[in-house]
Amino acid sequence: MINKLTIIGIGLIGGSLARALRDAGYVREIIGYGRSIGNLQQAMELGVIDRAEVSLPDAVRGADMIVLAVPVGNMAEILNVLGPVLPDNSVVTDVGSVKGSVIATARPALGARFAHFVPGHPIAGTEQSGVAASLPDLFQRRRVILTPEPETDSKALARVRAMWEAAGAEVAMLPAADHDRILAVSSHLPHVLAYCLMDMVVRHDDHRAILENSTGGFRDTTRIAASDPVMWRDICLANRDALLDALRQYHADLGAFVEAVERGDGKWLCETFTRAKHARDGLNKKI
């Protein structure tokens, strides 16, 4: 049970967590902090938060749980302000899509209190943003990855784990470097591929005809190109090394497809498509 929960950034993820914990009866009071007064007002009107604060020290005063739900690119700014005003007995966690960069910022910013910071990443979301898009069941049966460091306090870890479980999520643990390497392929790369395809179409001579004749496959493949550009710029920069490994591998693999089509190699294409199809069929069964 959380007595006073402060959510820094009431967007899709922060708003959905607030709704889920309120529905679960797991929290007494929810304070929202954000830079956009309009968004905070909307969060109040929607009943997502009980009270809004525009001063970070005021927002976290007396909070036993503080969740950082801002874009990865804004974490440093928040952590540096948070460090000196962090209440005793509070636990801090975040929802950033990249863990190594957040940990590297949090360690000096929080000093001795870094032990009470539990890095986390809920693997959930839609291509939409903002509190109006938040959903109380966004985390139901979704995975949340926590990436504790050697100095992470075990009680703080248990409290964050219990919070996510109360929100309906399944919690898993990974070292931060593993998280960043895996998510570079399972999430960050697909986003770049979708943005790249959509941007190629925008600049194509047949732009209008391509969109008019787009298939269900095209629409599915490009759905995540509607995601927030600032958030994804930040993720690309924060997870640069792992993303580059994934991007370079994909670029080389796609080069092999180009060569196979050039030489009309039906055998290679069929074998490769078959291997991919088997793996994708397996993924369907797991859903």
Q: Contact between 213 and its own copies (CB under 8 A)?
A: yes
Query: Would you give the binding string for its own copies spanning residues 192-211, x where CB under 8 A is met?
Result: xxxxxxxxxxx-x-x--xxx
Q: Contact between 248 and its own copies (CB under 8 A)?
A: yes
Query: Would you give the binding string for its own copies spanning residues 93-132, x where CB under 8 A is met?
Result: ------------------------------xxxxx-----
Which listed residue (15, 77, 143, 157) binds its own copies by CB under 8 A? 143
Least distance between its own copies and beta carbon 54 (Å):
26
Burial 167-205 (b: 16+ CB within 10 A, else e): bbbebeebebeebbbebbbebbbebbbbbeebeebeeee
Q: CB-wise, 41 or 214, nearer to its own copies?
A: 214
Q: Distance (Å, rounded) from C-alpha 81 to C-alpha 68?
A: 12
Q: Distance (Å, rounded) from C-alpha 98 to C-alpha 118?
A: 13
Q: Contact between 232 and its own copies (CB under 8 A)?
A: yes
Number of chain residues interacting with its own copies (CB under 8 A): 92
CB 134 within 8 A of CB 106: no
Radius of gyration, alpha carbons of the chain: 21
Strand partners, 118: 93
Binding range to its own copies, per CB under 8 A, among 21-29, 43-51, 85-93, 216-224: 216-224
Least distance between its own copies and beta carbon 205 (Å):
9
Q: Contact between 283 and its own copies (CB under 8 A)?
A: yes
Least distance between its own copies and beta carbon 74 (Å):
13
Q: Distance (Å, rounded) from C-alpha 98 to C-alpha 143?
A: 15
Least distance between its own copies and beta carbon 272 (Å):
5
Closest C-alpha to 160, from 122, 203, 107, 187: 122
Q: Contact between 270 and its own copies (CB under 8 A)?
A: yes
Closest C-alpha to 130, from 14, 47, 7, 20: 14
